[in-house]
Structure 1
Amino acid sequence: MNLFRLLPSIDKLLGRMAEDPELRGLPRALLRDLANDFLDVVREEIRAGTAGADDLDEARLLPRALAFVRVRSKPRFRRVLNATGVVIHTNLGRSNLPDSAVEAVARAARDYSNLEFDLSTGKRGSRYSHVEELLCRITGAEAALVVNNNASAVLLTLQTLARDREAIVSRGELVEIGGSFRIPDVMARSGARLVEVGATNRTHPRDYENAITGETGLLLKVHASNFRIVGFSKEVSLEELVGIGRAHSIPVMEDLGSGNFVDFTALGIPLDEPTVQRRVAAGADVVTFSGDKVLGGPQAGLIVGRREYVDRIKRNPVSRAMRIDKMTLAALEAVLRLYLEPERALREIPTLAMITAGADELKNKARSLRRRLSRDLAGRARLSLKPGSSRVGGGSFPECDLPTTLVAVEPQAPVTAEALREALLATEPPLVGRVEDDAFLLDPRTLRRDEFPLAGSSLDQALESLGAAKES
């Protein structure tokens, strides 16, 4: 029990932490809690008999305490290097914002703004007016509204147009996306009564026609953005559905999920997804889609369409619970302004730039990355290039692989690629890639060139830690 008396006081630990450059500026209450957590760990080691007097010597214990607190004091929400090749990685924050949007967010966060102030009249204004005109100009819609995500956009639209009424949808379009978000569940919460028509693989116009009653409030089409039904299948086109809706004076809504403004096939990229512009032109009364996927903007749910329906959605009191904040608004406006010049949007919006990166460009990036890593790793791993594929991600373009060149890192035995992958999660910054054929793979599609030194540093840290663990 005398070993417990060798532990330094909490004040001595706090004094050493105050001298550490990495810990300056942290709240003292947080430092005290972390110092106590460290002492609790050491006390458990003493009780377990794994810590002796030598281990409790200040020369060994204090550096260990500093290392413990440095790790534990890092923000929970942190930067991560994405080397997976998945452009819109749902778990890694989805789309990165262009520089102009980042600057706009910083201004909105730092300064007062005309969020709900009309500078032309000096009176209260609408926050949505800052982006509605841009959305209408880009999509061709008569009116637009923005809420906090596409799930909210779908829920709000259904509640407004079909509450206590029937909403008809094809059985093959009752999709589920990430987080167990299911269209039938959302419809139930909205108060709309779901009417399924057709079969899972085949739905015909007559199925909708036969289901329409005096209680029908909406015809709903849901784009299969995260899966495909192939083979003996048929779906009713939006144009056909619009014709049915017009004939019966029933609004037609389409949930695009991951909507986009770019015709990728025109760029020679086999990503054949309908653009929002095409759906508006086809006559959809309301179209809903995400702002933070292929669009390349912040998390938001965008609603565009005919004014009579969008205005009704705006007047729904629930819309206030779903409204966007000033930073989202600032980012979205900046991204939408880039779409006014399509070539500039492809160049400056990171999501679009990564999706459209060419094979030669990626091969050159891979070669540069391998050269950088060969210097940083100094022979501790075998580096090679291999052909591979990237994915768009975010539930978009599920059937499309984008060709790329991968950098394969094969650590020296007995270190395995899987052990390297796990060690990279604890580096600063963490580096996320994938493991195939006993190699850790980095895809340059989702790594910027200015991140190559950071990737090298993270790999160096991981191999160093694995080497130290092997020696101990």
Structure 2
Amino acid sequence: MDRSSAGALDAERQRLLRSLPAVSTLCQHPAVRPFVDELGERAVVPVIQEVLAATRQTILTTGQAGDVLTALLRELEQLARPRLEPVINATGVVIHTNLGRAPVSEEAAQAMADAARRYTALEIELETGRRGGRMAEISRLLSLLTGAEAGLAVNNNAAAVLLVLSTFCAGRAVLVSRSQAVEIGGGFRIPDVLRQSGARLVEVGTTNRTYVRDYEAAISEETAAILSVHWSNFRIIGFTHQPSLEELAELAHAHGLLLIEDVGSGALLDTAQFGLAHEPTVQEAIAAGADLVCFSGDKLLGGPQAGLIVGRRSLIERLERHPLARAIRADKTALAGLATTLRHYVRGEAMEKIPVWRMIAAPVAALEERCRNWAAELAASVDCSVVATEATVGGGSLPGETLPSVALAIPAVSLQARYGLGLEEFARRLRLGRPPVIGRVEDERLMLDARTVLPEQDRVLVTAIRRALGIT
């Protein structure tokens, strides 16, 4: 670049910098003023300053300014809009980790809201007026449902496993099959959790085949427990072998060791009745002789985020007394939602009340009928079709298993021809709507899977599609 060109560029940069509006001017802009009224100047002014600073840097770097007002409004909209607002999950993934895993039942949501807005009898016995334990109700319900002597809840399953290992295995060895020294999700690695707890990992067997004799050969005076970890988000197939829990329980107890089972998904119902592979249940783990069983509250259990531990009463009581238990305990809202969810199982109404099981149990014929109703309501607005597809359970449960489903398919060619909309832009508009709708793009079509859309969301979904098309 010659000197004259460089000089012209510098002059353009200076012109653009001088043209930037003042903070006070932007505060009074008609498009910005509603945000000032809603959020207050103390919140809006720093955002304006950040946008102006970023714009100045862009000018100095590239010689271009961009649209300051557009950038500012985008930032203010994100600030004003709740980050965790409810969305419609039309992806076909029932337990969608990125969408908050399992939605709770209406009754559980109400119980959580009631607990949040009012005082609760969290740690008081109403009959005597004395202080009581916050886990009494949860422990009783878990005992009734699983056959365990007692139970408790912490804030997630990773915490549950950490608490168990910290309480019973710190400074000692824990035997784990080499195939089970896994990363379960979100960087949660069994070897790391063992290390954090102070326990020492002793791997036994091989990646694909582990026998009881491998565990027995590794037992020493330093051994505290055998840890069994369910393959919740992957499979090893082919030339494989793993001992049964019954075999591990017999071995552990013969040597005075604990058998700890991380069953993961928290299934209390048999998934095979829905045409899926059988997911090990908590009841089966207890019946097989596991001393402590850890599992999630917000996967197949269908409740709020929680880590649940069930097992022998004496062991549960030791867990409750460990200092870590206070740091990771579940709060009153989670306990209220969890208790209501567990009562759905006690009453035999889980498939009618808990959204995860409502979705899994929904007949294909009912899904097709709903999809056809969507298509009929949208026929005048956009070309669409009802197609057979497959949904998944997701959330680290039943890897590779699918459920037959039905989806509304909106083709890219129709969106472009009728509205000049690209497929990605249409999907983006749906995501940014109120409520947001999350579908999936497949074969140049936007697919909205009916299995993960609850029937009471049908009308809202159709309205959201119309809005994304610009139809009011």
Place the TM-score, normalised by the shorter chain, in its bin.
0.7 to 0.9
SS in 2 for 1:125: coil
**Which whole-Å CA distance do the structure 1 matches of 2:241 and 2:311 have between them?**
26
Distance 1:315 1:167 in 2: 22
SS of alignment partner, residue 334 of structure 1 = helix
**Structure 1 stretch displaced more, 365-374 or 285-294:** 365-374
Following superposition, the deviation at residue 417 of structure 1 comes to 2.3
Q: Does the CA-based 8 Å contact 2:27-2:36 persist in structure 1?
A: no
Matching of residue 149 in structure 1 with residue 156 in structure 2? yes
Counterpart AA for 1:298: P
Of 409, 412, 415 in structure 1, the residue corresponding to residue 416 of structure 2 is 412
Within-5 A mapping of 1:223-242: 223-242=230-249
Going from structure 1 to structure 2, the CA distance change for 1:173 and 1:28 (only over 3 Å counts) comes to same
Change in Cα spacing, 1:160 to 1:71, as seen in structure 2 (3 Å) is closer
**Does structure 2 conserve the Cα–Cα contact (< 8 Å) formed by 1:14 and 1:35?**
no
Give the whole-Å Cα distance in 2 for the aligned partners of 1:193 and 1:109.
40
User: Is 1:269 equivalent to 2:275 in the alignment?
Assistant: yes
Q: CA deviation at 1:421?
A: 2.4
1-structure distance, mates of 2:298, 2:400: 20
> Distance in 2 between the 1:2 and 1:230 partners?
63
Tell me the CA shift for residue 220 of structure 1. 1.1
1:117 aligns with 2:131: no
Alignment partner of 1:10 is 2:17: no
Q: Is it true that 1:444 corresponds to 2:458 in the alignment?
A: no
For residues 65 and 175 of structure 1, what CA distance do their matches in structure 2 show?
Answer: 44
Q: How does 1:309-328 map to 2 (within 5 A)?
A: 309-328=315-334
Cα distance, 1:110 vs. partner?
Answer: 0.8
- 1:338 alignment partner in structure 2: 344
Tell me which residue corresponds to 1:470. Answer: none
1:30 aligns with 2:31: no
RMSD: 2.9
Aligned residue number for residue 187 of structure 1: 194
State the alpha-carbon separation in 1 of the partners of residues 356 and 52 from structure 2. Answer: 46
Distance 2:19 2:119 in 1: 55
The change in CA–CA distance for 1:69 and 1:155 in structure 2 (over 3 A counts) is closer
Per the alignment, residue 387 of structure 1 pairs with 388
Taking structure 1 as reference, are residues 314 and 403 closer, same or farther at Cα in structure 2, changes over 3 Å only?
A: same
Matched letter for residue 227 of structure 1 = F
Aligned counterpart in structure 2 of residue 299 of structure 1, from 301, 305, 309: 305
Could you tell which deviates more after superposition, 408-417 or 325-334?
Answer: 408-417
1:355 CA drift (Å): 1.1
Does 2:460 align with 1:454? yes
Structure 2 CA distance for partners of 1:464 and 1:3, relative to 1, 3 Å:
farther
1:350 aligns with 2:355: yes
Q: Kindly indicate whether residue 205 of structure 2 is the aligned counterpart of residue 207 of structure 1.
A: no
Are 1:256 and 2:257 an aligned pair? no
Structure 2 match to 1:469: none
In structure 2, the residue matched to 1:285 is: 291
Match of 2:11 in 1: none
Q: Which amino acid aligns with 2:300?
A: V
1:158-199 alpha-carbon deviations (Å, 9 max, x no partner)? 111111111111111112111111111111111111111111
SS of equivalent residue, structure 2 residue 399: coil
In the alignment, residue 134 of structure 1 is paired with which amino acid? L
CA contact (8 A) 1:34 1:72 kept: no
Shift of 1:27: 3.7
* 3-state SS of paired residue (1:278): helix
Match of 1:430 among 436, 448, 453: 436
Distance 1:68 1:233, change over 3 A: closer
Partner of 2:176: 169
State the secondary structure of the residue aligned to 1:230. Answer: coil
1:369 aligned residue (359, 374, 380) = 374
Task: Determine whether 1:129 maps to 2:143.
Answer: no
Give the corresponding residue for 2:3: none
Residues 196-237 of structure 1: per-residue CA shift (max 9 Å, x gap): 111111111111111111111101111111111111111000
Cα gap change, 1:202 to 1:43, in 2 (>3 Å): closer
1:66/1:138 Cα in 2 relative to 1: closer, same or farther (>3 Å)?
same
- Give the Cα–Cα distance (whole angstroms) in 2 for the partners of residues 6 and 288 of structure 1: 58
In structure 2, stretches of 5+ residues that fail to align are 1-14
Change (3 A) 1:5 1:239: closer
Q: Which structure 1 residue ranges, 5 or more long, are not aligned?
A: 466-472
Q: CA deviation at 1:120?
A: 2.1
For the Cα contact (< 8 Å) 2:276–2:402, is it kept in 1?
no
- Contact in 1 for aligned 2:371/2:407 (Cα 8 Å): yes
State the AA in 2 paired with 1:412.
Answer: Q
Instruction: Provide the identity percentage.
Output: 44
Q: Structure 2: which amino acid aligns with 1:402?
A: L
Q: What's the offset of the Cα at 1:275?
A: 1.1
Tell me, in whole angstroms, the C-alpha distance in 2 between the residues paired with 1:187 and 1:40. Answer: 46
Q: Structure 2: how far apart are the matches of 1:66 and 1:188?
A: 47
Distance in 1 separating the partners of 2:287 and 2:24: 69
Distance 2:194 2:71 in 1: 55
Equivalence for 2:6: none
Moved more, 411-420 or 127-136: 411-420
- 416-425 vs 296-305, greater mean Cα deviation: 416-425
**How many residue pairs end up in the alignment?**
450
Contact 1:372 1:452 in 2 (8 A): no
Q: What secondary structure sits across from 2:401 in the alignment? A: coil
Q: 2-side partners of 1:360 and 1:176: how far apart? A: 38
Is the contact made by 1:239 and 1:282 (CA closer than 8 Å) also made in structure 2?
yes
Query: How far apart in 1 are the matches of 2:17 and 2:222?
Result: 79
The offset of 1:399, in angstroms, is 2.1
- Report matched runs for 1:41-60 at 5 Å: none
Structure-2 separation of matches of 1:367 and 1:268? 23
How far apart are 1:366 and its partner, in Å?
1.2
Question: Quick check: 2:184–2:232 contact (8 Å CA) kept in 1?
Answer: no
Match of residue 10 from structure 2:
none
8 Å contact kept, 1:372–1:453: no
